[in-house]
Structure 1
């Protein structure tokens, strides 16, 4: 630290030196450029979707078909209202279809080459967000019809049990041959959950529920519905856990 007298001398010398130098001419355009460069987070080019740029690799037993939408004579309002192409994926475990947004393009260089996903304008945020999302949907479809998706539910708690029944008393049947998951999770009334179409449910153990199906969305939706009856609680660690789900235990509240 400088003393008061030395600090005063340094301030006087610096003010005299600055007054003797000619003042630089600052142009408004230069100020605007420096301000914009300072505000920018990075000067490099923005990175496009890493997931969307990856091609879709198809197993030899999977068929990938692209159907163009029917042409309508109505006046086009916007790109969002237009119908996109419909992708149909067929495999040994089933058949799935998905209609992509109109601004998404799916191309194949040759009939045997892997399809690639692109968008019309990658600078728009909505198109950039859907770029990787559509590619993930298609990848899950290819994986579902070839290998299938699974979800394992673990029932943790005293007396928690599950079984698969052919009929239910509290839930109506949605389609012929529907199965129902009967849960015993300390409720005074029976808890029955209908298995959606295309999903197979089994209980390898009384405290385990195995859900299988080609559609990942249907499998995980059914798992979420079953989990909602007993969500894991943080004090005793009891509840219904999906796959590798864990929970951090808390200490008891002592008043």
Structure 2
């Protein structure tokens, strides 16, 4: 909208006669008007309350501020501790976690699950809104991991494709578990199981990965899948969880 059009509309409303509106203000308003006047919305994922069971303890560590004011504030760390273990993740300094006092059960007098609300300092800053929902999702995954755990089921589809879990040997893999993959290569593929992940093979064509850290479990599953990515013509490959592939018709000359 140009300044002339805006001045015409205001004159119809008899607003030009008021001393609070001047031509300079009208020109500035017309030139600095943004494409959208909608206020930034809050993150639906980030603003959702976080349910913390009574068996889970959430600890927040805030490092001391830097001596020089020109440096950026250091990230804080959140430790989620539960029956299966503990996970620690860093969070940005502009995120705040407010944990409400858990209510007590009237019958037993024990504390029940509590709620935590995550907020940011400024909702108009895009990077803060982006990390709002991300951190909330990571905390929800960690709470689920320390209470129930995460799992990834890997399926081997193909003639001779199978996996075994062996005890590690040698200087670097002693005391660890090794996943032995036979995928049609001239040699078996030996992959050490990461710390915090438990691997088991109930049948030769299935491999079950379990752990409290969802990122570590899925990363190891993706590393195994990389050796035989599912191909669309015969449907062979390594599939993770409920992964499927649409078969293509063969090219006929």
User: TM-score category by the smaller chain?
Assistant: 0.7 to 0.9
In structure 1, distance between residues paired with 2:131 and 2:34: 31
Q: In structure 2, what is the equivalent of residue 220 of structure 1?
A: 218
Runs of 4+ in 1 over 2 A off after TM superposition: 26-40, 43-47, 74-77, 108-113
Bigger drift between 107-116 and 222-231 goes to 107-116
In the superposition, the TM-score normalised over structure 1's length comes to 0.79
Structure 1 portions without partners, runs of 5+: 1-25
Q: Is the CA contact (8 Å cut-off) linking 1:162 and 1:182 kept in structure 2?
A: yes
Deviation of 1:145 after TM superposition, in Å, equals 0.4
Q: Is the CA contact (8 Å cut-off) linking 2:166 and 2:179 kept in structure 1?
A: yes
Q: Is the CA contact (8 Å cut-off) linking 1:88 and 1:95 kept in structure 2?
A: yes
* 1:140-155 equivalences in 2 (<5 Å): 140-155=141-156
Q: In structure 1, what is the equivalent of residue 249 of structure 2?
A: 251
Q: Is the CA contact (8 Å cut-off) linking 2:65 and 2:74 kept in structure 1?
A: no
In structure 1, distance between residues paired with 2:123 and 2:33: 23
In structure 2, distance between residues paired with 1:30 and 1:221: 60
Structure 2 portions without partners, runs of 5+: 9-26, 104-113
Distance 1:38 1:49, change over 3 A: closer
Q: Is the CA contact (8 Å cut-off) linking 2:163 and 2:182 kept in structure 1?
A: yes
In structure 1, distance between residues paired with 2:155 and 2:62: 43
Q: In structure 2, what is the equivalent of residue 187 of structure 1?
A: 185
Q: In structure 2, what is the equivalent of residue 127 of structure 1?
A: 128
In the superposition, the TM-score normalised over structure 2's length comes to 0.80
- The superposition leaves residues 8-61 of structure 1 with CA deviations (integer Å, 9 ceiling, x where unpaired) of xxxxxxxxxxxxxxxxxx933269999999954xx6544321000011101111
Deviation of 1:237 after TM superposition, in Å, equals 0.5
Q: Is the CA contact (8 Å cut-off) linking 2:40 and 2:124 kept in structure 1?
A: no
- The superposition leaves residues 167-212 of structure 1 with CA deviations (integer Å, 9 ceiling, x where unpaired) of 268xx735x5211110111000121111100000000111000000
Q: Is the CA contact (8 Å cut-off) linking 1:84 and 1:104 kept in structure 2?
A: no
Aligned residues between the structures: 222
Q: In structure 2, what is the equivalent of residue 137 of structure 1?
A: 138
In structure 2, distance between residues paired with 1:254 and 1:44: 55
Please identify the structure whose Cα radius of gyration is greater: 1
CA RMSD of aligned residues (A): 2.5
